[in-house]
Structure 1
Amino acid sequence: MFGDDNSVPLVLVNVLGVAGIVVWHIQGGTRPTGRLIAQILFFSVMSVVLYLGGIAPYRPDGVQLQGIGALLSKSARILWWAHLAWAVIGFIQIYVRLNRRPREAHLIQDMAIAAIYLGVALSVVGFVFGMPVGTLVTTSGVIAVIFGLALQNTLGDVFSGIALTLGRAYAIGDWIELTDGTEGRVIETNWRSTNLLSATHNVVVLPNSVLAKQGMTNLSRPDETHLITLRVRVAATQRPRVVEEIMRSALQSSVLINKSPPPVAALKAIDAIAIEVELQFRVDNVAIRTPAKNEIVDLLHDRCEANGLSLAIPAESLAFMPPPTDSQYLATLSSRPVRVTAS
């Protein structure tokens, strides 16, 4: 114990608190583990000093201090609470890094840090300065309602971002597609918006509230491979089995599509004019679907030309004339000139 005089432990706590802040800044943001060790070490030593001095930082001063003594007491308690907050935040950051999802958990981490700072601020107000926390919370609630009404759209984006993060519908690096046709790879999520890198290498900024209201397809789950379908109409001059073999040989000659699972040439329909074939194949990721489709189209052209196959016109381009009625047929005959031959 330090005795009845509290000035020695208060001075030590102030020195340790300031030294901890200096060491915390020297460690830098690139060494989170070192920062956490320093925070825990200084916080532990400060707690031991306060305990040995009979000072409880979570209770107001038992005696009325004046001048330098009061200043040392309040600054020591404030530094202790600040180091407590930094130690807890350090544990949260280490936990997020160990889970290897630092960017996906960005919103949750920020929310937890904000809650910790708010709790510490209220503790300092109540335990250090002896102010009624209940009255302060009530006043803050009124102010929060006023700000909430003024910032409805922004708060909608914030809570939508929290909901999307908790739902884990996508992660950084996933390729997503919305119902309105917008698609791209997720490169950043923050409190207000989600940024996508489109196939044209442009950044699309989507407010979280808009993203939460739309249907979304995650093209990166369960894996990055992407299925592509391509319909081809071939003139019905060859047997369907021959057409299928030619289509399959074109798929097997490709170097951009996946061979496992094997690509499929499915015969979908046949009529008097054409055989309709649907080609189904997979690519490694969405980014190469256009080059892969271009390669398949080029290979189909070469295979059809080499094997004497002709491409048929689209079905919607065919014009069908209804057969003539009996009256139309008689009218046509009566309008023809009569040829008389001499006998």
Structure 2
Amino acid sequence: YGVPVGGLLTLVAGSSLGLTLALRDPLANLFSGMVVIASSKIRPGDYVRLSSGEEGYVTDIRWADTYIRQISNNLIIVPNSLITNTIMINYSRPEPEMAVLLTMGVSYNSNLDRVEELVIAVASEVMEEVPGGVPDFTPMVRYNTFNESSIDFMVVMRGKSFNDQFLIKHEFIKRLRSCFQAEGISIPFPIRTITTAGPIPIQIQEPDSIRTPTPNGQVAGDGRQASAS
């Protein structure tokens, strides 16, 4: 029929290549979405953090994208091909309960046994009274560092979900500070103590601006003769 077969094949091949390239990402996201939905590794309501730093609550998983709402109420839309190829922390799995860790310190002259007793008492009170705490969890205290100005320790509590940690820490800090104040236990701030081998000589010298010649020709303050100009 007079149709150039070579040109037609080139056109078909070029069109196929262009179509393949155009559909590569959408198809990858589609297949990845099927994997995400089928695997149930993340579900709406889970709190997740991606290796790229984004974190928040999963609100929706669609065929092409996953929607994540940050605590600041911003919405992150992540292609599912990235979801299946990234390292992710799911704070809601295998169970929503999670440890609540808080590091602090007390001064070197503190009675560490008494400090531990008070911290555990306050933490246990918080676990029972603050919404989101786990009442049957026994808090722990572990001393871990001789710091520059303090002996540091870690307090281990437990929250029912990721978001509960904020109120738990808030109430614990307020109550423990009041308890420490009543007991005379100080939470130190960084200080520097300078020790010398003996007294430090101090020389006080008057500024040149106030060394004025006296009527007898001397310079006040150092006994020098004023020079004639």
| TM-score (normalised: structure 1) | 0.48
Is 1:260 paired with 2:132? no
Are the counterparts in 2 of residues 265 and 278 from structure 1 also a CA contact under 8 Å? yes
Structure 1 residues 202, 249: CA separation in 2 closer, same or farther (over 3 Å shift)? same
Per-residue deviation, 1:273 = 4.1
Equivalent residue in structure 2 for 1:164, among 21, 36, 50: 36
CA–CA distance in 1 between the matches of 2:159 and 2:202? Answer: 63
Q: Which residues of 2 match residues 172-251 of structure 1 at below 5 A?
A: 172-251=44-123
In the alignment, which residue of structure 2 is the partner of 1:295? Answer: 171
Q: Which has the larger radius of gyration?
A: 1
Structure 1 residues 245, 155: CA separation in 2 closer, same or farther (over 3 Å shift)? same
What secondary structure sits across from 2:163 in the alignment? helix
Are the counterparts in 1 of residues 107 and 187 from structure 2 also a CA contact under 8 Å? yes
What secondary structure sits across from 1:172 in the alignment? coil
Cα deviations across residues 219-263 of structure 1 (Å, max 9, x unaligned)? 111211121110011112222111101111111221222133211
Cα deviations across residues 100-140 of structure 1 (Å, max 9, x unaligned)? xxxxxxxxxxxxxxxxxxxxxxxxxxxxxxxxxxxxxxxx9
More displaced stretch, 223-232 vs 195-204: 195-204
- Unaligned runs of at least 5 residues, structure 1: 1-139, 338-343
Q: Which residues of 2 match residues 1-343 of structure 1 at below 5 A?
A: 146-254=18-126, 255-256=129-130, 257-270=133-146, 273-313=149-189, 317=190
CA–CA distance in 1 between the matches of 2:17 and 2:63? Answer: 20
Structure 1 residues 305, 190: CA separation in 2 closer, same or farther (over 3 Å shift)? same
CA–CA distance in 2 between the matches of 1:228 and 1:271? Answer: 22
RMSD: 3.0
Letter in 1 for 2:115: V
| TM-score (normalised: structure 2) | 0.70
Letter in 2 for 1:233: G
Structure 1 residues 271, 195: CA separation in 2 closer, same or farther (over 3 Å shift)? closer
Quick one: higher RCO (CA 8 Å, sep 6+), 1 or 2?
A: 2
CA–CA distance in 2 between the matches of 1:154 and 1:270? Answer: 55
CA–CA distance in 2 between the matches of 1:143 and 1:272? Answer: 69
Per-residue deviation, 1:272 = 7.7
CA–CA distance in 1 between the matches of 2:160 and 2:65? Answer: 28
Per-residue deviation, 1:284 = 1.0
Letter in 2 for 1:294: H
User: Identity rate of aligned residues, in percent?
Assistant: 21
Are the counterparts in 2 of residues 199 and 287 from structure 1 also a CA contact under 8 Å? no
What secondary structure sits across from 2:82 in the alignment? helix
Structure with the higher strand share, 1 or 2: 2
> Hey, which bits of structure 1, 4+ residues long, moved more than 3 A?
140-146, 270-273, 317-321
Per-residue deviation, 1:289 = 1.7
Per-residue deviation, 1:180 = 2.8
Per-residue deviation, 1:154 = 2.3
Per-residue deviation, 1:283 = 0.8
Structure with the higher helix share, 1 or 2: 1
Per-residue deviation, 1:202 = 2.9
Number of residue pairs aligned between Structure 1 and Structure 2: 188
